[in-house]
Structure 1
Amino acid sequence: MSRPQDPHPPRSFFPFGNPFRKISPKGSRKSPQLLAVLHAFEATVAERLRKLMPKSKDEILSLSWMTLAMKSLCETHNDIRTLIIDLELPVSNWDDKWIDLYLDISTKLLDICNAFSSELSRLNQGNLPLKCALHNLNSVSSKLFVRACSFLDDWRQQVNSRNPRIEKCHSILDDLVGSLDLPKVKNSAKGQVLMQAMYSVKVETIFICSVFTAAFSGSSKKLLDLDVADVYSWAPAFISLQNLVNEEIRVRFSSGNFSVMSELETVDAVVKELYPTIQGGGGDAMETESLLKTVEELGGATEKLSQGMDLLSKEVDGFFQAVLTSRDTLLSAMRFDDKNVNDRVVGRNIVKQVVH
């Protein structure tokens, strides 16, 4: 299923039995209408995956590509929420233990979103030393050049540090991989449609979150390779995308790149070029056209990095809201009596804890 360092044995997404067994009589078959709904959903997923295929390897893990990937994921989660509503499944008949499991999985996704947001915030904080360095480099004072070097050192130290919240994403993703087994839903055509649609959502989610985690953690050791059967219409697009992206990430890490994220790597390359020139406070050579050009390049790269992270942060927030809304949609669809409503308070409290 995957190649993490510490693989877990596969687990069914419904270890407590078929939650749809009470929904309709045995022998349920997908009607043409249901098949049309499923095929349309999967065709949309396939198209989104094709749009994520970069035109060149240089686009992989650029902030613009990562933003597009997160936007795609958000749209897919919104689509599955719409599908749940359109199918009009009587959620009140589902096994209570499955509902708890669903809430647990969605909570894990919210945890991942929060980890990504914290990492983007941490990287954004690193832009402050860069801007301070650029401010000092606008002067011809050797004293200010020395100060600029200090700010560049602060930047490298900031971006080289590791976020413990990102490290926790590895184990969360391992757990989510264990939920990929597609359950057999024999007695409900609507249940079969939902499970097949949810499978594609889970695969896309785990893949994109795995790529982001590798990029933010600075390691490809636990980058996941998901094995998807070619019976799904979106499988060829997914396999091509996964193979290209994962291979390129591993190549970049093996090459000793400062970062696999393109904009960070660009800033670092300019800093490396600039640093020896201004180190030690200067001299007449500092006023050369070459130096001014390098400083200008650093300013442009820093601005592009800042803008890219802002856009990506907004998409991560959007994904968080999509997952949160999907939880609320499922909970609001439950037609429980007062006792069961009270039992669901725990699930709602989990969401509040994650949000705050």
Structure 2
Amino acid sequence: MAASVSVMPFLRRSCTFLKCFPTYAVRIQCASRKPWEPPKHPIDYLATRPLDTTIYENDITKENEELLKEWNIKKHQYDTSPLKEAPWEKGEWVPKSKRTGLVGMKLGMMRLWNKEGEPLATTVVQVLENTVLKYESPQEYKYSSKRGNYAALTVGSKNIPPDSRDRSYIELFKGTGVPVKDFLATFTISENAKLQPGTPLFASHFRPGMKIDVCGKTKAKGFQGVMKRWGFKGQPASHGATKTHRRIGGLGGGGSPSRVWPGKKMPGMMGDRWRWKYNLQILRINTKHNLLYIAGTFPGFKYDFCKIKDSQITPLTTAPPFPTFSPDLDEPLDEDLYADQIFKFSDESIKYEEEE
């Protein structure tokens, strides 16, 4: 359908219904209607002009601009400091202690080699600006009774501008002195592993060779049938089967229960769920850029957030950095830390014996 567009100037004083529209409006004239016929309703065929939200230099004077900058700095830097209280006492590690986890960003995959020359597939994760946001005691944590009477720590990752989220999310950071974070995660901990809000977390929280559990979001696959979603065998391919090759078959309701039991495996949405992968090993740690090189793969796209914590399958036998690594209190570490079986490119790979 062809159409012609013309611009008509309106006076806001003439019509009360045009007060909500800008001074200029666009009248779209369809070819199906004669050009001399008036529209059925005055508001028909009107499209408002996009508002101009550009901030010009003449709108704010230089004095007011400097005042706004000073006020913005004071608002974000001199907020309630998380270190207004005295530092909390450092707990002692016992074999059944449970530390907090970290929030990482998946960067991709690369290869490492062991000392026998075999390649190992690793996933690189960056621990990006992790900070403790909140501590909840076992009495305050609402899921404590369901999770072994543990406490909880909320950890945030990646600083973002405050105006990039809604007000309800910004209220979580009000009065904490912690910048607004892009992603939040809650980890259950033992009481002796509590950390003061505002404490930064680094990749040195772990050590090479440690076993960890990683949680990532699986790939969304949409609505799928039972054969793809649950691995069902399907119906016979021949011998009288008609349009039931990939169907679920009987649901097992029958006459006795007369209903389908809750949790029955049926077609539905597949993927886009948080899933844990257990007992992965850390092969290398870069302390300068907070990088973790984790053996194998786990769910998640590139640049997706993931949650990392100590493995539940392989408990720790030696004391790790407890409750976390602190650059001010602990001994400084090398830039690159490797597991025992990983080959370092700074070492010699081939040795020749000297002939007598």
**Same-fold call, TM > 0.5?**
no
Given the two structures, how large is their TM-score scaled by the length of structure 2? Answer: 0.21
Q: Of Structure 1 and Structure 2, which has the larger fraction of its residues in helix?
A: 1
